[in-house]
Every structure is written in C-alpha cells, then in structure tokens.
Amino acid sequence: MKTNEIAMIGLALTLLSACGAEAQDIFTTEDFRQDRALWTTPGYYGNNTMSEIGEMQVENRFGEIGTGVEGSLDLASPYDYASATEHYEALLEQADGGTEHSYDSLPDWRGRWVGGAVGLDGGDNPASAVAAMLTPQYQEYFAQEMKAVAEGRMWDADAFCLPGGFIGSVVNAEEFVVTPEKVWTIGADNTANYIRWIYTDGSGHASGDFAHPKWHGESVGFWHEDVLVVHSNQIRGWKGLPFEFTDDLETVERYWLDGDTMRGELFLYDPNVFVRPYFTQLVYERDDDARPELRPLFNSCTDTNGPSSKVFLDERGFLNERLPGDALYWEATDPRPWGTFFDESDRRYLEHLDAGGTPPGE
C-alpha cells in the first residue's frame, strides 16, 4: 500500500472517531456502504470470526463480541508468483517435468475421505482478515454479506437449486480415483454431485473456441513423485465461501498422502478479487466406516428442495413458467444472484424496521 493511501485511511479513521463513529459496526450501522474505512478493522464485525457471524442468528446472540484472533491463520500465499500459470510451471520445473507413473507405482488413494478446506473462511481470524484480502469492490460485497448473514438473511446456492461452483467441487471431494493418465475427484451432498477430471497425460488445457468458463473449471496436472499438482483455469465466476470470484480465477493445488490423512494446498489467483493470492490448506481423513448407508448417492437439488421455483401448475391445469415481473421470478442468467438477493433483502429488511419491526435478538 502506498504512503499516501495509508495517510488517507488514517485521516478517514480520525474523522470517523471525531464523529463518534468508533462504536459503529455492522450491527448498528444504518448504511454499511458509508463505513468503508472500517471494513478491514476487527471491531467492525464485533471481533467475530466468519463462523461466529454465521451462528449468531441460530444462537440468538446478535451483536455479541466474538473471539477472533488476528494473525491466527495466514490467508495470503507465501509465494511471490504473479499468476497461477507461473506458480504451476515453477512446480513442474522443480519436478523435472513430472514423474511418469504406472498402475503399479501410483499411490493408493482408495477409500472414502472426509474433510475439506481448513480456514477457507478465515479460520479463527476476525472476519476483517478476509476483508483485508479483497479489493475494494469485493470488500463491499463481503461487508454486505456479513451484515445480512449476521441478521439471518442468508443466501445459499443449494436453496435456489443453483450449482455450488468450483470451490464446492474442491471442498466436497470424497473419493480420488487415480490412473496414470487421469485423476477424478468425486463428491456428493444432499442437493448436488461434484466431479472433476484432472488430466495428467500432458495434453494441457483446451484453447481457442473450446476455452470457456465451466462450473468446475478445467484441470490438468502432473505427479512429482507421489504428490499430485493441479492447475485449474476456465472457471465460471460464482460464489464460494467466503467470497465471490470471477471468470479470471485460476488455482494451483497440491495433494499428498500422510498415513490415513490426505493433505493438500489450494492457492487462488484472481486479481479482480484478491490483493494477494489467497491460500488455504486441505485436509481429508480416510473414513474406515464402510456401512452401505454412507455410500455416496447421485442427488439432484429437486430431490430435497422441490421443483424449480419458476415452473408451476396454473389455473388451467397446465405446467407454466413465471416470467419477468412476477414477484417469484428468478432470473437464470443473473451473474450475481446472491447480489440481487442481498440488495432486495436489504430493502425489505429496512421496510420491516421502518414499519416497527424488531431486529434479530429482540
């Protein structure tokens, strides 16, 4: 950060303090967008971690002081690579072009794995630590979501039968199917299934007309002895806890076996979103419970959430579809449906308060 930028922020904080704004936080503010200078300060979120903010409505402790500890987890990549491609190619060079495996020499990754990302949501840091990793526009989006979530006005892709996106495909992996030419990661939850194809045959990424954003991106990789290294690009911009990302997101992953623990690293590169590449660890434990009822199932969102909210049975007994202008219409091409949701949620919540309604916790 440049010296003049630091000075400007310091001046803004001084002015806010002089006006009594030091007590301002997401629980008391009338307009969070006016609090830009406070978005990266722990006190603005009541020193709460992201998890604690998510639990507030459930536990009816709206506005309580949290237990966040600054610096408990470093969210920034420890490397100075300018891009995921540079990072990946450096690892490939370190591996002398990669290890060629046969079926006999591949590591044994069989089994069902339980786990995912450690600290993707900032871990024990206050929520401000995540905000500090974001560019100004995405800090605003983040602050808006934290305010809404603290008040119980949550958005979840599954609730609208929308895909979980790339981050979901990483953190929900349950199986790793390994062959010399390709690795599959497979996972399932109550509303969706996740599958990734990671090509380790040296074929590289698709290009030209075949390069376009995809829900789970496009992944290629190589082996460095028994460590799998993955580069993903062509990822469709979406939302994955705890932040949004754009079509420019590219990632580097590493996976290796440590006893019955699968360890990994995930590096996220998106200059639109992050001021520095974001880093999180991945940890999966091998689950020896082989009960048939724990086997993954193919699920569709409509199994648990019902049919599409756009389709309904009209007064004639015909299947019909809601159109723009209908109060319950959902625009499928909306690139930021959560943004639309939060804006409308803000509007309705303020109307609720103006009409004499009470905020959470009262």
Residue 264 lies in a domain: yes
Strand positions, DSSP E, 49-192: 112-118, 175-178, 182-188
Residue 195 lies in a domain: yes
Residue 30 lies in a domain: no
What is the C-alpha separation between 83 and 270, in angstroms, rounded?
9
pLDDT in tens, 75-98: 999 999 999 999 999 999 999 999
Work out the pLDDT band at 254, boundaries 50, 70, 90.
Answer: very high
pLDDT in tens, 124-141: 999 999 999 999 999 999
Cis preceding-peptide flag for 324 (omega within 30 of 0): no
Q: What region does 122 belong to: left with phi over 0, alpha with psi -120 to 50, or beta?
A: left
289: its two tokens: 């419970």
pLDDT for 361 equals: 67
Q: Which neighbouring-strand residues pair with 129? A: none
Residue 139 lies in a domain: no
- CATH label of the domain that carries residue 284: 2.40.128.20
Say how many domains are in the chain. Answer: 1
pLDDT for 153 equals: 86
Q: Is-contact 256 264, C-beta < 8 A?
A: yes
Residue 207 lies in a domain: yes
What is the C-alpha separation between 122 and 60, in angstroms, rounded?
22
What is the C-alpha separation between 234 and 212, in angstroms, rounded?
6
The whole domain housing 180 covers 84-120+157-303
Residue 35 lies in a domain: no
What is the C-alpha separation between 325 and 329, in angstroms, rounded?
7
| Sign, CA torsion 315/320/321/324 | negative
Burial degree of 112 (CB within 10 A; 0-12, 13-18, 19+): middle
pLDDT in tens, 300-340: 777 766 666 677 767 776 777 777 777 667 777 788 888 98
